[in-house]
Structure 1
Amino acid sequence: MTKIVVVDNHGQFTHLERRALRDLGVDTELIDNDTNPEKVAADGVVLSGGPDMDRTGRSAEYLEENVPVLGICLGMQLIAEELGGRVGGGEYGGYADVTVDIVDDDDPLTGSLYPETRVWASHADEVKELPDGFELTAKSDVCDVEAMSDSDRDLYGVQWHPEVAHTEQGEEIFENFLAICETQ
């Protein structure tokens, strides 16, 4: 059975990320972000959302573990910042229901949602510049980088929260990430 760990960055919806995976029949575990990645055996990693980049513990170390990684909100921002992208404050601010345009219908994470989907997202902070090797996979009127992928390294990120009921096709993001993890 495929195992995916959710690294807890203290977000208010983190427990829902684990539940969404569990509901798909995935062996999943919620782990503290101070957990040493070398002590975790998993086929994939979800870096959860959270309130503050200063409270991400050892999350960045999971990018070096050679397993697929999905960053959600703060998790995506952490991936971008750690790998040379740029994160900054969003113009829109707090949580909102947003229509997201999927710009790459071949992307393994978001492509199945093409051409658009409705999501629940916070835009207090957002990715302003993609890291090298990443491609833009989704955008909106609110945010230029709603999702990004580096399929060569199996690193993915979404600004929105696929784990909440307000996101129309959120379960599909987890299904797609599971498929990525199972092909490793």
Structure 2
Amino acid sequence: MLPICVVNNHGQFNHLIHRALRDLDIDVALIPNTTSKDEVAAGYRGIILGGGPDIGRAGVCAEYLDLGIPVLGICLGLHIIARKFGGEIRPGKSGGYGSVEVCIREHDDVLRGYPDKLPVWASHADEVCRIPEGFTLLASSGICDVEAVACSEKRIYGLQWHPEVSHTVDGKRVYENFDKICME
């Protein structure tokens, strides 16, 4: 079975995403965001777009969204997804990293098994202010209207928060759910 790739967008937590999957016995590789889309298409069964400091440093990540492979975007990864499909990003009102309680509105495939309210660790330096057409709002919070989205038809999901950090309650469940999606 092919591995899942974590695309390194120069964020401080990309190695933690890689480690979280490895600790779950999910075959995973950490790749640069300049890897060709052909190499990604041939070598991986799922794509996790990691976080990073600036969408201008996202390499060729937007090209991966056309491959028909399941995608999970984390923080900047969510912003790449939103922008590619016509959504809008703006500077967040709350700024840097911190704890936030998200309200899960839709317990879709990637959020299956979570309670309706979930304490997470997130950065809101930038955030999605308009979700793309064809996407469903999965979660919001008191400081951010768009904490998670999905286009189940395309198997593309995005989270504003970081499941891989210890401050997020039961973050591994996101990665277990995404692994199941990648096996379908």
TM-score > 0.5 by shorter chain: yes
Equivalent residue runs for 1:145-156 within 5 Å: 145-156=146-157
* 8 Å Cα contact 1:2/1:182 also seen in 2: no
Aligned to 2:38: 38
- Whether 1:6 and 2:6 are equivalent positions in the alignment is yes
TM superposition shift of 1:25: 1.2
Q: CA RMSD in A?
A: 0.8
* CA positional deviation for 1:10: 0.3
Report deviation, 1:132. 1.0
Residues 1:168 and 2:138 aligned together: no
> In structure 2, how many angstroms separate the alpha carbons of the residues matched to 1:110 and 1:140?
15
Give how far 1:39 is off.
1.1
* CA positional deviation for 1:114: 2.9
Closer, same or farther in 2 for the Cα pair 1:31/1:37, shift >3 Å? same
- TM-score normalised by structure 1 residue count: 0.97
Which deviations, in whole Å up to 9, do the C-alpha atoms of 1:141-178 show, x marking residues without a partner?
Answer: 01000000000000000000001011012100000100
Is it true that 1:80 corresponds to 2:82 in the alignment?
A: yes
Does residue 173 of structure 2 align to residue 141 of structure 1?
no
Q: How does 1:35-114 map to 2 (within 5 A)?
A: 35-40=35-40, 41-105=43-107, 107-114=108-115
User: Secondary structure of 2:65's partner?
Assistant: helix
Please report how far the alpha carbon of residue 2 of structure 1 lies from its aligned counterpart in structure 2 after TM superposition.
4.7
1:3 partner letter: P
Aligned partner letter, 1:157: G
TM-score by length of 2: 0.97
| Whole-angstrom distance in 1 between the partners of 2:2 and 2:60 | 23
Equivalent residue, structure 1, for 2:16:
16
Deviations 1:79-107 (A, max 9, x none): 000110000011111111110000012x0
- CA distance in 2 between partners of 1:42 and 1:116 (Å): 32
Q: Secondary structure at the residue paired with 2:79?
A: helix
Aligned residues of 2:112 and 2:177 also touching (Cα < 8 A): no
Per mean C-alpha deviation after superposition, the further-off stretch among 111-120 and 61-70 is 111-120
Q: Which runs of 5+ in 1 are unaligned?
A: none
Contact 1:103 1:114 in 2 (8 A): no
Tell me if structure 2 keeps the 8 A contact 1:137–1:146: yes
Post-superposition, which runs of at least 4 consecutive aligned residues in structure 1 deviate over 3 A?
A: none
Kept after mapping to 2: 8 A contact 1:2/1:26: no
- Between the aligned partners of 2:54 and 2:135, the Cα distance in structure 1 is 23
C-alpha offsets along residues 26-84 of structure 1, whole Å, 9 cap, x if unaligned? 11110000110201211100000000000000111110111100000000011000110
Which deviates more from structure 2 when the two are superposed, residues 117-126 or residues 35-44?
35-44
| Matched letter for residue 75 of structure 2 | C
